């Protein structure tokens, strides 16, 4: 018998943060509750800790999208602490940014030993891959003005970057030219601990894999997130309008 696909079935799943169950106890917080810790639902039991709990805490919004909850960021910053994230990573994020904010940082991979970072950022209402080094900054040509919930996939793999929005690739570059250490920080809402333009908006779900997924696995994740969060995939996508089963 077929069952519904869930992220824990992915190979090399590193982290899975679910806004419908941020405490990983099967019960959502109350609307407006402060969320100091976002618990990992993968078997690795990582933890996203709010670094700005005293000044800009993450707040639970119980109805982010289709009566499902997420974390509201108001210059809030969460960090995993050092964790084993490889150079080849796929990161999926369901989010809804404040459309009035032109420049904002969504997430980053940061190497404290090299003081290196790569981040997914919206600059002048366009998605870019930002970096400490100008040669690794990559910009998309598509304007991002949506006030709706969207799904982004950010791939960092050997000598290339990809960004997909709602199942369509909007950015590609082959300009990755460094090897990070084995232990990295994964940040939500910022590029590095002392950056500006921290995120304002909501995040509903994050899935991080320690490998670049093959096309079918990527489409399974897209289908899962689109079905769950009522996000439209392109016609022709294998999971357009249906839930992925395994």
Residue 195 is predicted with a pLDDT of 73
Residue 175 is predicted with a pLDDT of 65
Strand partners, 110: 117, 185
Tens-place pLDDT, residues 184-209: 889 999 987 767 789 999 999 999 99
Low-confidence ranges of the chain (pLDDT < 70): 86-87, 135, 158-159, 175-182, 194
pTM: 0.94
Residue 67 is predicted with a pLDDT of 86
Measured between alpha carbons, how far is 47 from 39 in angstroms, rounded to an integer? Answer: 5
**Ordered domains of the chain (ranges, CATH):** 13-213 (2.60.120.200)
Cα–Cα distance list, 166 to 63, 95, 186, 236 (Å): 20, 11, 22, 13
Tens-place pLDDT, residues 57-92: 999 999 888 889 999 999 999 999 888 776 678 999
């Amino acid at each position: 018998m077929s069952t519904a696909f869930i992220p824990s079935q992915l190979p090399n799943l590193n982290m899975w943060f679910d806004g419908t169950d941020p405490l990983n106890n099967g019960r959502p917080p109350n609307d407006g509750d402060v969320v100091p810790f976002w618990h990992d639902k993968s078997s690795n039991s990582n933890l996203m800790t709010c670094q700005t709990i005293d000044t800009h805490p993450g707040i639970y919004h119980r109805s982010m999208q289709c009566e499902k909850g997420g974390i509201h960021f108001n210059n809030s910053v969460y960090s995993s602490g050092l964790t084993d994230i490889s150079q080849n990573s796929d990161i999926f994020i369901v989010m809804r940014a404040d459309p009035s904010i032109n420049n904002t940082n969504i997430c980053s991979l940061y190497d404290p030993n090299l003081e290196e970072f790569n981040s997914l950022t919206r600059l002048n209402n366009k998605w870019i891959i930002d970096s400490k080094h100008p040669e690794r900054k990559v910009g998309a040509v598509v304007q991002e003005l949506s006030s709706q919930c969207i799904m982004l996939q950010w791939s960092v793999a050997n000598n290339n970057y990809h960004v997909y929005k709602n199942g369509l690739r909007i950015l590609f570059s082959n300009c990755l030219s460094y090897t990070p250490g084995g232990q990295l920080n994964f940040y939500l809402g910022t590029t590095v601990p002392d950056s500006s333009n921290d995120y304002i908006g909501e995040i509903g779900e994050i899935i991080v894999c320690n490998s670049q997924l093959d096309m079918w696995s990527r489409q399974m994740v897209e289908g899962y997130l689109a079905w769950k969060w009522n996000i439209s995939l392109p016609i022709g996508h294998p999971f357009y309008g249906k839930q992925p089963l395994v």
